[in-house]
Amino acid sequence: MEFIDIKKETDEAIVDPDIRNEARRYSVPTRLAFLPDKVLGELWYFRFLTLIYYYIFIYFHGFESKNLEKC
């Protein structure tokens, strides 16, 4: 029963009828890509993944290359 509720909530969150019809062609996890940014930003797992990606990018972008010759 939860699966049907998630499917219904996802469809109701998509405001534009054309996008909603397009999203119905896909599975529920794929339908999440059609949600508006405001709804996606409120999801806990989206925030969690953003936090993890943030620290990974900070770590790798913190490296510097020294003593490279100009080409």
Q: Quickly list DSSP for 2-65.
A: HHHHHHHHHHHH---HHHHHHHTTS-HHHHGGGS-HHHHHH-HHHHHHHHHHHHHHHHHHT---
Identify the sign of the CA torsion 35, 39, 44, 48: positive
Rounded Cα gap, residues 64 and 52, in angstroms? 22
* 1 pLDDT higher than 50: no
| Predicted TM-score (pTM) of this structure | 0.46
Residue 35 falls inside a structural domain: yes
Q: Domain count for the chain, please give it.
A: 1
Range of the domain at 14: 2-61
Could you tell me if residue 67 is inside a domain? no
* 67 pLDDT more than 70: yes
Residue 54 within a domain: yes
Domain-located, residue 10: yes
